[in-house]
Amino acid sequence: MSPRTAVPVSRRSALVLAVASLGGLMMLVWPLLLRVEGTERVDPPFLFLALLPVVIAVMLAELSEGGMDTRVLAVLGVLSAIIALLRGLSAGTAGVELVFFLLILAGRVFGPGFGFVLGCTSLFASALMTAGVGPWLPFQMLVSAWVGMGAGLLPRRVTGRREIAMLAVYGVVAAYAFGLLMNLSGWPFMLGVQVPGHEGSLAFVPGAPLWENLRAFGLYTLLTSTGSWDTGRAITNAVAVVVLGPSVLTTLRRAARRAVVHGPA
Protein backbone atom coordinates (compact mmCIF):
# COMPACT_ATOMS: atom_id res chain seq x y z
CA MET A 1 0.00 0.00 0.00
CA SER A 2 1.41 3.40 -1.00
CA PRO A 3 1.80 6.08 1.68
CA ARG A 4 -0.76 8.83 1.46
CA THR A 5 -0.25 12.52 1.87
CA ALA A 6 -1.10 13.64 5.40
CA VAL A 7 -2.01 17.19 4.35
CA PRO A 8 -3.88 17.13 1.04
CA VAL A 9 -3.74 20.07 -1.33
CA SER A 10 -6.96 21.37 -2.86
CA ARG A 11 -7.13 22.68 -6.39
CA ARG A 12 -7.16 26.24 -5.13
CA SER A 13 -4.11 25.59 -2.95
CA ALA A 14 -2.36 24.02 -5.93
CA LEU A 15 -3.13 27.15 -7.94
CA VAL A 16 -1.67 29.36 -5.20
CA LEU A 17 1.47 27.21 -5.15
CA ALA A 18 1.78 27.39 -8.93
CA VAL A 19 1.37 31.17 -9.03
CA ALA A 20 3.81 31.67 -6.14
CA SER A 21 6.37 29.38 -7.79
CA LEU A 22 6.01 31.13 -11.13
CA GLY A 23 6.47 34.53 -9.49
CA GLY A 24 9.51 33.28 -7.61
CA LEU A 25 11.01 31.79 -10.75
CA MET A 26 10.58 35.08 -12.57
CA MET A 27 12.30 36.83 -9.66
CA LEU A 28 15.31 34.57 -10.23
CA VAL A 29 15.57 34.56 -14.03
CA TRP A 30 14.48 38.13 -14.82
CA PRO A 31 18.00 39.35 -15.75
CA LEU A 32 18.26 36.68 -18.46
CA LEU A 33 14.95 37.65 -20.02
CA LEU A 34 15.42 41.41 -20.26
CA ARG A 35 16.74 43.18 -23.31
CA VAL A 36 18.39 46.53 -22.60
CA GLU A 37 20.59 48.82 -24.61
CA GLY A 38 24.30 48.71 -23.87
CA THR A 39 25.16 48.37 -20.19
CA GLU A 40 22.15 50.22 -18.86
CA ARG A 41 21.53 49.36 -15.24
CA VAL A 42 18.32 47.49 -14.49
CA ASP A 43 17.00 47.22 -10.96
CA PRO A 44 15.38 43.92 -9.95
CA PRO A 45 11.63 43.69 -9.35
CA PHE A 46 11.53 43.29 -5.59
CA LEU A 47 7.73 43.13 -5.54
CA PHE A 48 7.64 39.35 -5.21
CA LEU A 49 10.06 39.37 -2.28
CA ALA A 50 7.79 41.84 -0.51
CA LEU A 51 4.80 39.60 -1.24
CA LEU A 52 6.46 36.38 -0.04
CA PRO A 53 5.12 36.69 3.55
CA VAL A 54 1.65 37.22 2.10
CA VAL A 55 2.04 34.08 -0.03
CA ILE A 56 3.02 32.07 3.07
CA ALA A 57 0.00 33.39 4.98
CA VAL A 58 -2.31 32.54 2.08
CA MET A 59 -0.85 29.03 1.87
CA LEU A 60 -1.39 28.48 5.59
CA ALA A 61 -4.98 29.65 5.24
CA GLU A 62 -5.54 27.41 2.22
CA LEU A 63 -4.08 24.37 3.92
CA SER A 64 -6.14 25.08 7.03
CA GLU A 65 -9.27 25.02 4.93
CA GLY A 66 -8.06 21.76 3.41
CA GLY A 67 -7.77 20.14 6.82
CA MET A 68 -4.60 21.38 8.51
CA ASP A 69 -5.64 21.57 12.15
CA THR A 70 -3.78 22.73 15.23
CA ARG A 71 -1.98 19.40 15.59
CA VAL A 72 -0.48 19.67 12.12
CA LEU A 73 0.43 23.30 12.78
CA ALA A 74 2.18 22.12 15.93
CA VAL A 75 4.14 19.59 13.86
CA LEU A 76 5.03 22.40 11.46
CA GLY A 77 6.35 24.50 14.33
CA VAL A 78 8.37 21.66 15.84
CA LEU A 79 9.93 20.69 12.50
CA SER A 80 10.75 24.33 11.75
CA ALA A 81 12.54 24.62 15.10
CA ILE A 82 14.45 21.35 14.60
CA ILE A 83 15.58 22.33 11.11
CA ALA A 84 16.66 25.75 12.37
CA LEU A 85 18.67 24.07 15.13
CA LEU A 86 20.25 21.61 12.70
CA ARG A 87 21.26 24.45 10.42
CA GLY A 88 22.89 26.26 13.30
CA LEU A 89 24.82 23.12 14.29
CA SER A 90 26.02 22.21 10.80
CA ALA A 91 26.49 25.80 9.56
CA GLY A 92 27.16 24.63 6.01
CA THR A 93 30.86 24.04 6.64
CA ALA A 94 32.37 22.44 3.50
CA GLY A 95 28.84 22.05 2.23
CA VAL A 96 27.74 19.86 5.16
CA GLU A 97 24.17 20.96 5.91
CA LEU A 98 21.70 18.90 7.91
CA VAL A 99 18.76 21.06 6.85
CA PHE A 100 17.48 19.51 3.69
CA PHE A 101 17.19 15.83 4.53
CA LEU A 102 14.55 16.49 7.19
CA LEU A 103 12.77 18.98 4.93
CA ILE A 104 12.69 16.34 2.19
CA LEU A 105 11.36 13.63 4.50
CA ALA A 106 8.70 15.93 5.95
CA GLY A 107 7.59 17.02 2.49
CA ARG A 108 7.38 13.36 1.50
CA VAL A 109 5.09 12.50 4.41
CA PHE A 110 2.95 15.63 4.73
CA GLY A 111 2.71 16.65 1.09
CA PRO A 112 3.79 19.47 -1.24
CA GLY A 113 1.84 22.28 0.43
CA PHE A 114 3.21 21.46 3.86
CA GLY A 115 6.70 21.08 2.37
CA PHE A 116 6.47 24.50 0.72
CA VAL A 117 5.46 26.24 3.95
CA LEU A 118 8.02 24.30 6.01
CA GLY A 119 10.80 25.35 3.65
CA CYS A 120 9.90 28.99 4.19
CA THR A 121 9.32 28.90 7.95
CA SER A 122 12.36 26.75 8.79
CA LEU A 123 14.81 28.90 6.83
CA PHE A 124 13.33 32.07 8.32
CA ALA A 125 13.64 30.65 11.84
CA SER A 126 17.22 29.52 11.22
CA ALA A 127 18.14 32.96 9.87
CA LEU A 128 16.89 34.54 13.08
CA MET A 129 18.86 32.06 15.18
CA THR A 130 22.12 32.42 13.23
CA ALA A 131 21.91 36.16 12.45
CA GLY A 132 21.61 35.23 8.79
CA VAL A 133 18.98 37.82 7.86
CA GLY A 134 19.89 39.64 4.66
CA PRO A 135 18.80 40.22 1.07
CA TRP A 136 19.54 36.57 0.31
CA LEU A 137 17.02 35.26 2.86
CA PRO A 138 13.85 35.49 0.72
CA PHE A 139 15.62 33.55 -2.03
CA GLN A 140 16.76 30.90 0.45
CA MET A 141 13.21 30.61 1.78
CA LEU A 142 11.77 30.30 -1.71
CA VAL A 143 14.23 27.72 -3.02
CA SER A 144 13.96 25.68 0.20
CA ALA A 145 10.19 25.81 -0.21
CA TRP A 146 10.61 24.28 -3.66
CA VAL A 147 12.78 21.52 -2.18
CA GLY A 148 10.06 20.62 0.32
CA MET A 149 7.31 20.91 -2.28
CA GLY A 150 9.19 18.74 -4.75
CA ALA A 151 9.59 15.98 -2.18
CA GLY A 152 5.83 16.01 -1.68
CA LEU A 153 5.28 15.62 -5.42
CA LEU A 154 7.40 12.48 -5.76
CA PRO A 155 5.51 9.27 -6.75
CA ARG A 156 3.47 7.95 -3.82
CA ARG A 157 3.51 4.30 -4.87
CA VAL A 158 7.23 3.89 -4.24
CA THR A 159 7.80 2.30 -0.82
CA GLY A 160 10.41 0.50 1.23
CA ARG A 161 14.02 0.53 0.10
CA ARG A 162 13.04 1.93 -3.28
CA GLU A 163 11.50 4.92 -1.51
CA ILE A 164 14.71 5.56 0.44
CA ALA A 165 16.73 5.28 -2.78
CA MET A 166 14.37 7.68 -4.54
CA LEU A 167 14.60 10.22 -1.71
CA ALA A 168 18.39 9.93 -1.61
CA VAL A 169 18.60 10.63 -5.34
CA TYR A 170 16.18 13.52 -4.92
CA GLY A 171 18.37 14.87 -2.12
CA VAL A 172 21.36 14.91 -4.47
CA VAL A 173 19.39 16.66 -7.23
CA ALA A 174 17.91 19.14 -4.75
CA ALA A 175 21.37 19.98 -3.39
CA TYR A 176 22.72 20.94 -6.78
CA ALA A 177 19.50 22.75 -7.73
CA PHE A 178 19.60 24.78 -4.51
CA GLY A 179 23.18 25.86 -5.15
CA LEU A 180 22.47 26.75 -8.77
CA LEU A 181 19.38 28.82 -8.00
CA MET A 182 21.02 30.61 -5.09
CA ASN A 183 23.96 31.48 -7.33
CA LEU A 184 21.53 32.79 -9.91
CA SER A 185 19.92 35.06 -7.30
CA GLY A 186 23.17 36.93 -6.66
CA TRP A 187 25.26 36.48 -9.79
CA PRO A 188 23.64 39.31 -11.86
CA PHE A 189 24.75 41.85 -9.22
CA MET A 190 28.42 40.83 -9.20
CA LEU A 191 30.64 43.08 -11.29
CA GLY A 192 33.81 41.88 -12.96
CA VAL A 193 33.66 38.33 -11.57
CA GLN A 194 37.10 36.75 -11.93
CA VAL A 195 37.72 33.06 -11.27
CA PRO A 196 41.30 31.76 -10.76
CA GLY A 197 42.39 29.70 -13.73
CA HIS A 198 39.87 31.27 -16.09
CA GLU A 199 40.58 34.18 -18.38
CA GLY A 200 38.04 36.95 -18.65
CA SER A 201 35.07 37.96 -16.56
CA LEU A 202 32.15 35.68 -15.74
CA ALA A 203 29.89 38.57 -14.72
CA PHE A 204 26.37 39.12 -16.01
CA VAL A 205 26.24 41.47 -19.00
CA PRO A 206 22.92 43.33 -19.43
CA GLY A 207 21.74 43.15 -23.01
CA ALA A 208 24.10 40.33 -23.98
CA PRO A 209 22.64 37.33 -25.85
CA LEU A 210 20.94 34.80 -23.60
CA TRP A 211 23.37 32.06 -24.55
CA GLU A 212 26.41 34.13 -23.57
CA ASN A 213 25.01 34.94 -20.16
CA LEU A 214 23.96 31.33 -19.59
CA ARG A 215 27.44 30.15 -20.56
CA ALA A 216 29.08 32.63 -18.18
CA PHE A 217 26.72 31.66 -15.38
CA GLY A 218 27.26 27.95 -15.98
CA LEU A 219 31.03 28.34 -15.77
CA TYR A 220 30.72 30.57 -12.70
CA THR A 221 28.55 28.01 -10.90
CA LEU A 222 30.69 25.06 -11.93
CA LEU A 223 33.95 26.67 -10.79
CA THR A 224 32.75 28.28 -7.57
CA SER A 225 29.97 26.06 -6.22
CA THR A 226 29.13 22.80 -7.97
CA GLY A 227 32.37 20.98 -7.29
CA SER A 228 32.64 22.07 -3.66
CA TRP A 229 29.71 23.34 -1.59
CA ASP A 230 26.99 21.72 -3.66
CA THR A 231 28.73 18.35 -3.78
CA GLY A 232 29.22 18.39 -0.01
CA ARG A 233 25.54 19.23 0.41
CA ALA A 234 24.54 16.44 -1.98
CA ILE A 235 26.62 13.84 -0.14
CA THR A 236 25.24 14.96 3.21
CA ASN A 237 21.66 14.73 1.94
CA ALA A 238 22.13 11.26 0.48
CA VAL A 239 23.92 9.83 3.52
CA ALA A 240 21.44 11.35 5.98
CA VAL A 241 18.45 10.03 4.02
CA VAL A 242 19.91 6.53 3.76
CA VAL A 243 21.03 6.33 7.40
CA LEU A 244 18.25 8.23 9.16
CA GLY A 245 15.48 8.14 6.56
CA PRO A 246 13.69 4.91 7.57
CA SER A 247 13.40 5.80 11.26
CA VAL A 248 12.51 9.46 10.60
CA LEU A 249 9.85 8.49 8.05
CA THR A 250 8.33 6.06 10.56
CA THR A 251 8.25 8.77 13.24
CA LEU A 252 6.75 11.37 10.92
CA ARG A 253 4.08 8.97 9.66
CA ARG A 254 3.18 8.07 13.20
CA ALA A 255 2.76 11.78 13.95
CA ALA A 256 0.73 12.17 10.76
CA ARG A 257 -1.66 9.40 11.78
CA ARG A 258 -2.28 11.16 15.08
CA ALA A 259 -3.15 14.32 13.21
CA VAL A 260 -5.38 12.80 10.56
CA VAL A 261 -6.41 15.31 7.94
CA HIS A 262 -9.47 14.88 5.76
CA GLY A 263 -9.20 17.29 2.87
CA PRO A 264 -11.67 18.12 0.15
CA ALA A 265 -11.98 15.75 -2.78
CA dihedral sign, ordered 244, 249, 255, 261: positive
In a domain, 106, yes or no: yes
- Chain segment 118-170, per-residue pLDDT in tens: 998 898 888 888 767 777 788 888 899 999 999 999 998 999 999 999 999 99
CATH number at residue 146: 1.10.1760.20
In a domain, 6, yes or no: no
In a domain, 49, yes or no: yes
pLDDT at 1: 46
pLDDT at 264: 45
Q: CB under 8 Å, gap of 24 or more: what pairs does 194-197 form? A: 195/219, 195/220, 195/223, 195/224, 197/223
State which residues form the domain around 63: 11-258
CA–CA distance, 52 with 119 (Å, rounded to integer): 12
CA–CA distance, 136 with 210 (Å, rounded to integer): 24
- Chain segment 162-200, per-residue pLDDT in tens: 999 999 999 999 999 998 998 888 777 765 555 554 455
In a domain, 3, yes or no: no
- The answer to whether residue 37 scores a pLDDT higher than 90 is no
CA–CA distance, 5 with 261 (Å, rounded to integer): 9
pTM for the full predicted model: 0.83
In a domain, 218, yes or no: yes
- The answer to whether residue 42 scores a pLDDT higher than 70 is no
In a domain, 31, yes or no: yes
pLDDT at 131: 67
Question: What string of H, E and C letters represents the secondary structure of the chain?
Answer: CCCCCCCCCCHHHHHHHHHHHHHHHHHHHHHHHCCCCCCCCCCCCCHHHHHHHHHHHHHHHHHHHCCCCHHHHHHHHHHHHHHHHHHHHHCCHHHCCCCHHHHHHHHHHHCHHHHHHHHHHHHHHHHHHHCCCCCCHHHHHHHHHHHHHHHHCCCCCCCHHHHHHHHHHHHHHHHHHHHHHHHHHHHHHCCCCCCCCCCCCCCCCCCCCHHHHHHHHHHHHHHHHHHHHHHHHHHHHHHHHHHHHHHHHHHHHHHHHHCCCCCCC
How many domains does the chain contain in total?
A: 1
Is residue 112 a contact partner of residue 9, using CB atoms and an 8 Å limit? yes
Confidence tier at 102 by pLDDT (50, 70, 90): very high
In a domain, 91, yes or no: yes
In a domain, 171, yes or no: yes
- Chain segment 230-261, per-residue pLDDT in tens: 888 899 999 999 999 999 999 999 988 876 54
- The answer to whether residue 263 scores a pLDDT higher than 90 is no
Average pLDDT (19-40) is 70
- The answer to whether residue 43 scores a pLDDT higher than 70 is no
Confidence tier at 6 by pLDDT (50, 70, 90): low
Backbone angles phi, psi at 35, to 5 degrees: -125, 110
